[in-house]
Chain A
Amino acid sequence: MWLLEIVDLSASIGNKQVLKNFNLKIGSGETHALFGPNGTGKTTLLNVIAGIPRYRVDGGRIVFKGKDITNMSMDERARLGIGMAFQRPPAIRGLRLKDLIRIINPKADVLAILKKMDFAAFAERDVNRGFSGGEVKRSEMVQLLAQQPDFVMLDEPDSGVDLENIKLIGDAINSLTQKDRRPSSRTKSGIIITHFGHILEYMKADRAHVMLGGSIVCSGNPGEILAQIKRSGYEGCAGCMCQT
């Protein structure tokens, strides 16, 4: 059974159609990487799966754990097991990071999670307020480690992160997607947007896709696809016509 199944999905924001007959299937225990130039609809895809109301679904459906979630509210989707690391999350005045962790998961071991991301010094800080680009990414990972979603969506988790911390982020992703376990015992899945693929040196992805113009144009082994992009650009992927 697929954990996530997206069928002929079309979606728009404002008057602009961004996703066109988009199809994707992600199985239990699988992590997929998503490549593509700016403006091709990668972030939109994640936002539509998360259920952000600004995005309108014009056709098709999203099925998660066998349930059609196309019209489900954001918080219901989150409680069903979908988690997302935002690319540019807002700051929340007066809400301390440690309090948010407790709100997300009252049973979470707050200190252990913060320490795992070398982020204990930020426990008392307002969420994302005055955080640098790299700190924002660690804040996102800390929250996801508390949430423990079954399906995690990561929108450029490596952008702005220095070399010291990129491994921490990679480890956290591996933990969220259970890459630290035997393949047969993995149940959690994920999708990750990355521009340059640096993060893939620190985490394991099972499959990769290239998006162009709102649809997937090529799918395959992450290493091979990345090499192909480096060799002949995204346009080269369009010509390869690998089936999804």
Chain B
Amino acid sequence: MHVSDIEEKARRAREKRALYGTDVDLQSYESEAKPQNIVEKAEELPGIVKEAALDVGVKLDAESSGAYVQMDQTPVVAKSLYEGVEIMDIASALKKYDYLQDYWWKLVAPDADKYTADVATSPPAGYFIRAKKGMKTVFPVKSCLYLGSTNLNQRVHNVIIAEEGSELHVITGCTTPAHVQRGLHIGVSEFFIQKNARVSFTMVHSWGKEVEVRPRTGISIAEGGSLSNNYILLRPVKTIQTFPTATLAGRGAVASFNTVVYSTMGNIDIGSNVILNAPETSAESISRVVSVGGEVIARGRMTGRVPGARAHLECVGLLLSEKGRIYSIPELDGQSRDLDMSHEAAVGRISEEELEYLMARGLTTEEATSVIVRGFLDVEIKGLPEDLKQEIKNITQREDLKGS
């Protein structure tokens, strides 16, 4: 699609409301951002950015295969430390590689809704990460999308290409510092996982109480490719709506989605959508939601289109307060014979029996509740390097995640 066609389509969709989530008034946010200083390496970033990144599990000075940091609309660091991975800001990448036009807006439609339209009609900012053919990197690429100005509409458009036989791990932290009162983050992401490539993508969100978030993600996985997608949201947010869609396009492709949400307020509408479009594909989606306040809608949709596809959905929620709501919507859409698709969904409270058991060992009600909540959020994630696994565990096992 030619650039002018993309913009034309997007312009027509500028008022188009999204299918899910509360409607955001884009006009109420600033669309122009002040440019930020570009730095040579991540270590030179301002302390406040490094701290915010750390809070979302992104240790910028620890071992990695590269980093991308965007402050507001400025890519301030885009640097690869490993020859197997290329990291650039997307605007530069689009200039450098003509072939990127074949990937640009291919998995997310520019006219999907007003948010994608808004990104498509703005100058591109975001990362381009390419895992080169056959190259396996164990250290994760670390990325941080930092919304540092109050009232800004931060727009991001990311592209990941994992070439044939490559292995890539990415951890992205999206965050606002405490002084940002209000803001909007729209992130379009398109991930291309090519033949026999393995990708893990871990995203940790930590926003402010008046921040609205609309990620738009499309993923395609070719023959023998695999994706482990992990999403963690533990901090307050005003509204968030995301429904990443993965298409298993080649034989034997595998996708697994793990979602961990601890909700205290706001409107959180999250989920995953997997289309199993090739033989011997399989998908799994596990979501664990704890609500001590706020509304959480946990969606999961699997569509099986060819014989032999296997899919499993698990949406489990712990509702610990009168003020909260967990609305679990697992959907299975079988469109072929010989499918194996299943789901389990449960919303409940902490079992009295488990509480009593821990209290009999001397834990107070609050301590026992907190231990059970943290255990509940401790999702076993396969296919991640040990360090990254530990990092996720550290985040989900924070002491401040309590029962009320």
**Chain A residues in the interface with B (C-beta under 8 A):** 50, 52-54, 73-75, 78-79, 83-84, 86, 89-90, 92-95, 100, 103-104, 126, 143, 147
B376 at the A interface (CB under 8 A): yes
List B contacts of A74 (CB < 8 A). 356, 359-360
Complex-state Cα separation, A141 to B353, whole angstroms: 19
B123 at the A interface (CB under 8 A): no
List A contacts of B38 (CB < 8 A). none
Candidates A52, A86, A90; contact of B351 at CB < 8 Å: A90
Candidates B362, B368, B375, B377; contact of A79 at CB < 8 Å: B362
Known: A52-B360, A92-B354, A103-B363. 14 other contacts (CB 8 A): A75-B362, A75-B365, A75-B368, A83-B361, A86-B360, A89-B357, A90-B353, A92-B358, A92-B372, A92-B375, A93-B375, A95-B372, A95-B375, A147-B362
Complex-state Cα separation, A84 to B362, whole angstroms: 11
List B contacts of A52 (CB < 8 A). 356, 360
Q: Which residue of A lies closest to B365 (CB)?
A: A75
A90 & B354 in contact (Cβ 8 Å cutoff): yes
**Chain B residues in the interface with A (C-beta under 8 A):** 351-354, 356-365, 367-368, 371-372, 374-378
Q: Which residue of A lies closest to B378 (CB)?
A: A94
Taking the closest CB of chain A, its distance from the CB of B365, in whole angstroms, is: 7
Taking the closest CB of chain A, its distance from the CB of B364, in whole angstroms, is: 5
Complex-state Cα separation, A75 to B361, whole angstroms: 7
Taking the closest CB of chain A, its distance from the CB of B287, in whole angstroms, is: 14
List A contacts of B365 (CB < 8 A). 75
B363 & A126 in contact (Cβ 8 Å cutoff): no
Given A52-B356, A90-B351, A90-B353: A104 and B361 interface contact (C-beta under 8 Å): yes
Interface centre among A54, A75, A84, A93 (most CB of B within 10 A): A75
Secondary structure of the A side of the interface? Answer: mixed
Complex-state Cα separation, A79 to B362, whole angstroms: 5
Complex-state Cα separation, A236 to B160, whole angstroms: 79
Given A92-B354, A92-B357, A95-B371: A75 and B377 interface contact (C-beta under 8 Å): no
Complex-state Cα separation, A103 to B357, whole angstroms: 13
List A contacts of B376 (CB < 8 A). 93-94
B375 & A94 in contact (Cβ 8 Å cutoff): yes
List A contacts of B357 (CB < 8 A). 86, 89-90, 92
Complex-state Cα separation, A126 to B378, whole angstroms: 11
Taking the closest CB of chain B, its distance from the CB of A56, in whole angstroms, is: 15
B360 & A84 in contact (Cβ 8 Å cutoff): yes
A78 & B372 in contact (Cβ 8 Å cutoff): no
List B contacts of A79 (CB < 8 A). 362
Taking the closest CB of chain A, its distance from the CB of B133, in whole angstroms, is: 37
Complex-state Cα separation, A143 to B360, whole angstroms: 11
Complex-state Cα separation, A226 to B360, whole angstroms: 30
A50 & B360 in contact (Cβ 8 Å cutoff): yes
Complex-state Cα separation, A147 to B351, whole angstroms: 23
Complex-state Cα separation, A143 to B354, whole angstroms: 15
List A contacts of B364 (CB < 8 A). 75
Complex-state Cα separation, A94 to B377, whole angstroms: 7
Complex-state Cα separation, A84 to B357, whole angstroms: 9
Complex-state Cα separation, A80 to B158, whole angstroms: 58
Nearest 9 pairs of A and B residues by beta carbon = A94-B375, A94-B378, A78-B362, A95-B375, A74-B359, A75-B359, A90-B353, A79-B362, A90-B354
Q: Which residue of B lies closest to A78 (CB)?
A: B362
Q: Which residue of A lies closest to B375 (CB)?
A: A94
List B contacts of A86 (CB < 8 A). 357, 360
List B contacts of A78 (CB < 8 A). 359-362
Q: Which residue of A lies closest to B356 (CB)?
A: A52
Complex-state Cα separation, A90 to B350, whole angstroms: 12
Complex-state Cα separation, A126 to B374, whole angstroms: 12
Taking the closest CB of chain A, its distance from the CB of B360, in whole angstroms, is: 5
List A contacts of B372 (CB < 8 A). 92, 95
List A contacts of B363 (CB < 8 A). 75, 103
Interface centre among B359, B362, B374, B378 (most CB of A within 10 A): B362
Candidates B356, B358, B361, B367; contact of A53 at CB < 8 Å: B356
Taking the closest CB of chain B, its distance from the CB of A122, in whole angstroms, is: 16
Taking the closest CB of chain A, its distance from the CB of B211, in whole angstroms, is: 29
List B contacts of A89 (CB < 8 A). 357
Q: Which residue of A lies closest to B368 (CB)?
A: A75
Q: Which residue of B lies closest to A94 (CB)?
A: B375
Taking the closest CB of chain B, its distance from the CB of A60, in whole angstroms, is: 22
Interface centre among B351, B360, B363, B375 (most CB of A within 10 A): B360
Q: Which residue of B lies closest to A95 (CB)?
A: B375
Sample (9) of A-B pairs whose CB atoms are under 8 Å apart = A75-B359, A78-B359, A86-B360, A92-B372, A93-B378, A94-B376, A100-B371, A104-B362, A126-B375
Complex-state Cα separation, A94 to B286, whole angstroms: 14
Q: Which residue of B lies closest to A73 (CB)?
A: B359
List A contacts of B354 (CB < 8 A). 90, 92
Q: Which residue of A lies closest to B372 (CB)?
A: A92
Complex-state Cα separation, A93 to B354, whole angstroms: 10
